Amino acid sequence: MLDEKNNKGAEECCPKSDERDGEFTRKIAEHPCYDKSAQHKYGRIHLPVAPVCNVQCNFCVRDFDCVNESRPGVTSQLLTPQKALEKVRDVVAKHPFIKVVGIAGPGDPLANDETFETFELVGKEFPELTLCMSTNGLYLPEKLPELVRLGVSTLTVTVNAIDPEIMEKIYSHIVYDGKILNGIEAAKVMHKKQMDGIKAAVEAGLVVKINTVLIPTINDDHIIDIAKKMKELGVYIMNVMPLINQGAFAHITPPTTKERAAIQKECEPYVTQMKHCRQCRADAYGLIGEDLSHVSDKRRKLLQVKI
């Protein structure tokens, strides 16, 4: 990414570095989540190939998509990697404004081999598309080399706390190394994996975004600490999302728009804030504000935008 280190590389007249930075700039300018001004022009397709999750968040009901990235509603259909490739072929041919292929669930992408198979297939056939992924980060340090090899260049990690004592209230349990861990033990492992994973991903040149679920009474006073830490780690953009109150957190009142805006304002000096997220489904495609996955064929044809 265009951090100080890479800029210095470019100044040293290394053509490879220039090419890499040019490619970085293009990918961000065409990414509807990373660049606000791209959201009305460029789209993304989500491939729902990852059903399994390796943690249990207290705001998650497994009947729905991962709410660290999506909003619950109707569960997304699952696709095999081959069917996912066919879907990309079909959708990109009809909607060439789609520049990003993302895997965001319905579980955690890194807990499913299908995620890697799908990126392999799609990356080979569509090298010009940006490969994007969203994860809770538990398996990130181990799986990062594989993501780099496959050409994944934009990565979202959900960081709801950087203090294990707060994190402990958010995760009911995690599954790590074949064991189920709970309480502070689980929170410490999760925290370490997220921090190590983000640091390594930034160093590897991925453009890292974090999603933070704003949970009143649990982490609302802590979001600013997360923003400061993310600046230190070189995170590119932060998306503070409102809690969807379900599961064990069904009794918590979600934040108001005003409360969320105030926190985003506080965090802005540390990390750029994404404010146009639509908490889209794990099988959404099209523009962020115009999900084509659940519109009629007639309307979908009308929306085939040529650029």
CA–CA separation, 93 vs 231, rounded Å? 38
- Which two three-digit tokens encode residue 20? 């890499």
Q: Shortest gap between Cβ of 101 and ligand SF4 (angstroms)?
A: 20
Does residue 56 bind ligand SF4 (CB under 6 A)?
yes
Q: Which lies closer to ligand SF4 via its Cβ, residue 38 or residue 240?
A: 240
Closest CA to 110 of 58, 73, 68: 68
Q: Which amino acid is at 233?
A: L
Does residue 168 bind ligand CLF (CB under 6 A)?
no
Does residue 48 bind ligand CLF (CB under 6 A)?
no
Does residue 136 bind ligand CLF (CB under 6 A)?
no
Binding region for ligand SF4 (CB under 6 A) out of 55-63, 81-89, 96-104, 288-296: 55-63
If contact means CB under 5 to 8 A according to the sort of partner, which of ligand CLF, ligand SF4, none does residue 218 touch? none
* CB distance 141 to 193 below 8 Å: yes
* CB distance 243 to 213 below 8 Å: yes
Q: Which lies closer to ligand SF4 via its Cβ, residue 278 or residue 300?
A: 278
For ligand SF4, the binding residues in 90-109 under the rule CB under 6 A are: 107-108
Does residue 49 bind ligand SF4 (CB under 6 A)?
no
Binding region for ligand CLF (CB under 6 A) out of 52-60, 164-172, 262-270, 277-285: 277-285
Pairing of strands 290-291, 55-57: unpaired
The CA distances from residue 42 to 79, 100, 102, 130, 298, in Å, are 23, 8, 13, 12, 21
CA–CA separation, 167 vs 274, rounded Å? 23
